[in-house]
Structure 1
Amino acid sequence: MAKINVTKRGKFYQYRFQLASQNGQRKWFSKSGFKTKKEAEAAGIKALAQYNETGLTFKPSEISVSDYFNIWLNSYCKTHCKETTIYSYRKKIDKMIIPELGKYKLKALSHPVLQKFMDDKFNEGYSRNSLAVLKGILSGALKEAVKDGYISQSPMIYVDIQSDRIKPKVPTRKKPKELVTPEQWQAIIERFPESQPAHIPLMLAYHCGLRLGEVFGLMWEDIDFEAKTLSVNRQVQMSNTSKQWTFTDPKYNSFRTIDIDDAIVNLLRRERAHQNKARLYYAEYYTQLCVSGYVPDQSDHLYNSGSLGTDGTPVHMIMARENGTFIQPRIMQHVGRVIHGKAGKECPCISENWDFHSLRHTHATMLLDAGVPLPAIQYRLGHTHINMTEHYTNHVTDNMRDNIRKAISSL
């Protein structure tokens, strides 16, 4: 059990006690500035009591929060989560959880401490989505800690996120998604016509509501021109370890087949014909994209973390340049700069708050505006929960206002 050590440093006294070890190294907490030894002892006893306060009699381990979360990431998460999910968890743990909770013993975490932690993040302006992810990480990790015998029960059971009716002290950091007006859309398409590599991604997001990774993960085998459907079977993401574009399952495993309109069918027919012509023209110099394990500095290989075949299996991407090389999702960064008016001195701003996801919100709102039921929109967008679809469609359009006015007038 930790003891209070009091020493004199110059004219003042200091108390010091040992914290839970982190990464096998001893950690200490100290505070000085007390005029007498008695004052330092009293303050030290109070600080140590606060540090050890838990209300639990179950004490199987002295492990720190920091060390346990490293174990959780390297054991449970590695066998249950995607690489990109683990990377996202690691960032939040290192940035938000460890700096404030990492020094404490895992067994000392209590409901009041964790509720205050969540409330503080709320008041710092983190979005409700970020808070939900943070709560999920804490709940999931502490649930596993109970299973593994580190603690007897999870202190996250009764921790809540602040109500929507309560306003944070700092305005939320989340930037509201802006709908793309017909005028803005026309300006975007004129700036990125069919001859531009960004044209197809923009069209697929606006007409189909696809996510960025889903657009760039499309292969020709995913398009049924006769049935006029598009199947979302994978997405492309940058691997945080190999630093290569990687095939993974769609977000939330949202495999789905959706209908596509004539504009998209005809656009893709033209693109396929163009690629077939280019393949004949370039002949042996045409780049055939392949599935691969990690192959450094090979632009003709895409890393496979799914079940697309063995190394060297050819893939026929829709997002390919004339010579067959892969068009990377990073091109949309330039698109954003153009639309924001930041790509050059003579570049007019089309929309200040636009991002690629704005097209997904716009697509969902247009469907709702046209009378499409929410469950159908939910399936089309690949949402796990319908409340997320409701969030995407919480914009009020002019057509909706007209319908409201007509309904009021008919009362």
Structure 2
Amino acid sequence: MNKKYRNGFTKNALSGFYGVLSGALRMAVYPYELIKENPMQYVSMPKYNDTKKDKDDLKVVSLECFNKIINRFLQGSSFYVPLQIAFNTGMRAAEVCGLTWDCVDLNNKTITIDKILLKQGKGWVFGTPKTKSSNRIILIGNTLHNILKQHKKFQTENKLKYGQYYTENNFVYKNENGEPVTTDSLKYLSRVVNYELQISFNFHSLRHTHATMLLESGANIKDIQHRLGHSKLATTMDTYSHITNKLRQDSVDILESIVSKIK
């Protein structure tokens, strides 16, 4: 159970495994009398942290840690591109998974975010972004532009490689054989980073990291609000109050350094 937990299985999935195994072994005890006792009675479920984290618990990934993550999932890995997209844009996991090439303008270096990928029953469907403001067009830099340009070339090569076995679609983030990749895969990624690399991480960390880097570098907070798709500036201010409070103090310090020279 612990191994499956570390490999990114959800709480519901592990509960299902536990129930099936326990039921089968219970029948092995009675009525079939194949074993004397049910060994599952000694197995404990891993503990999941279901508590809601507040803004003081937002995970921010340092550049050093992000480099370690990227070195673990190098270019060519199925996780390389979504990691780079989230780090460079602050997009949500469902927005990254729902991104299609018609929404990527490599000529003008923009990404249009107009849909997300949602789980529906046993399948996945497109949904609308979280809020009206989540529908947005954001600029991307040369680094992400070059990564996406190279990635598109890789996808064309993979299509030729797999031929008739390639799943035809327009997703930016997908497996080598063209099959769509879902947010469940990103949960597995988070488990690997946490347990193998020993870095406190979830995919949403990259969104907070993106916003934190911009704020600390002096970017306009209205621009950051737009990039994140927040409907209200107050949401951005409140979420990152630990940073904006520091910036307010920095402003006072700057003013003080000026007025202190007045005699």
Please indicate, yes or no, whether the TM-score normalized by the shorter chain is above 0.5. Answer: yes
**How many residues were matched structurally?**
204
1:209 and 2:83 are equivalent in the alignment: no
* Residue matched to 2:124: 245
8 Å contact from structure 1 (residues 187, 350) kept in 2: no
- Counterparts of 1:87-236 in structure 2 under 5 Å? 173-175=52-54, 176-236=57-117
Identical-pair percentage: 34
* Pair 405,185 (structure 1): closer, same or farther in 2 beyond 3 Å: farther
Shift of 1:405: 9.0
* Deviation (angstroms), 1:243: 2.6
**Aligned residue runs from structure 1 range 370-385, under 5 A:** 370-385=217-232
Contact 1:237/1:246, CA 8 A, preserved across alignment: yes
Q: 1:401 to 1:181 in 2, by over 3 A?
A: farther
Match of 1:365 in 2: 212
- Please state which structure has a larger fraction of its residues in helix: 2
1:353-391 Cα shifts (integer Å, max 9, x gaps) = x22212111111222222222221111111111111112
Aligned to 2:180: 326
Give the SS at the match of 2:204: helix
How far did 1:218 drift? 0.5
Match of residue 198 from structure 2: 349
What is the DSSP-based 3-state SS (H/G/I as helix, E as strand, rest coil) of the residue aligned with 1:267? helix
SS of match in other structure, 1:356:
coil
Structure 1 residues 405 and 196, CA, compared in 2 at 3 Å: closer, same or farther? farther
**How far apart are residue 270 of structure 1 and its match?**
0.7
Q: TM-score normalised to the size of structure 1?
A: 0.46
Structure 1, 260-269 or 318-327: larger mean CA deviation: 318-327
Q: Deviations over 1:113-166 (max 9, x none)?
A: xxxxxxxxxxxxxxxxxxxxxxxxxxxxxxxxxxxxxxxxxxxxxxxxxxxxxx
Q: Give the drift of 1:401.
A: 9.9
Alignment of 1:259-274 (within 5 A): 259-274=139-154
Which of 384, 393, 398 is matched with 2:240 structurally? 393
* Counterpart Cα distance in 1 of 2:108 and 2:168: 28
Conservation of the 8 A alpha-carbon contact between 1:229 and 1:257: yes
Trace 1:68-79 onto structure 2 (pairs within 5 A).
none
TM-score w.r.t. the length of structure 2 is 0.71
SS of residue matched to 2:137? strand
Bigger-Rg structure (1/2): 1
Relative contact order, higher structure (CA 8 A, sep 6+): 2
Q: Which amino acid aligns with 2:93?
A: L
Shift of 1:404: 6.1
Output the CA distance in 1 between the equivalents of 2:59 and 2:128.
Answer: 28
Structure with the largest fraction of strand: 1
What is the CA–CA distance in structure 2 between the aligned matches of 1:333 and 1:340, rounded to whole Å? 11
RMSD of aligned residue pairs (Cα, Å)? 2.3
Inter-partner Cα distance in structure 2 for 1:319 and 1:389:
27
> Cα offset for 1:279?
1.2
Tell me which amino acid in the other structure corresponds to 2:107: E
Q: Structure 1 stretches (4+) deviating beyond 3 angstroms?
A: 399-406, 408-411
Question: Closer, same or farther in 2 for the Cα pair 1:401/1:355, shift >3 Å?
Answer: farther
In 2 relative to 1, CA 197–379 (structure 1 residues): closer, same or farther, beyond 3 Å?
Answer: same
Mapped partners of 1:227, 1:274: distance in 2: 21
Cα gap change, 1:391 to 1:358, in 2 (>3 Å): farther
Per-residue deviation at 1:236? 0.4
1:284 equivalent in structure 2: 164
Cα offset for 1:402?
10
Kindly indicate whether the alpha-carbon contact (under 8 Å) linking 1:378 and 1:389 is maintained by their aligned counterparts in 2.
yes
Measured in 2, the distance between the counterparts of 1:402 and 1:262 equals 33
Q: State the distance in 2 between where 1:379 and 1:404 align.
A: 23
1:338–1:409 CA distance, 2 compared to 1 (3 A)? farther
Instruction: Classify the secondary structure of the residue corresponding to 2:241.
Output: coil
Deviations 1:209-236 (A, max 9, x none): 0011000001111111110000001000
CA distance in 2, matches of 1:391, 1:358: 17
How many Å apart are 1:328 and its aligned residue?
A: 2.0
Secondary structure of the 1:214 match is helix
Secondary structure of 1:324 counterpart: coil
Equivalent residue, structure 1, for 2:43: none
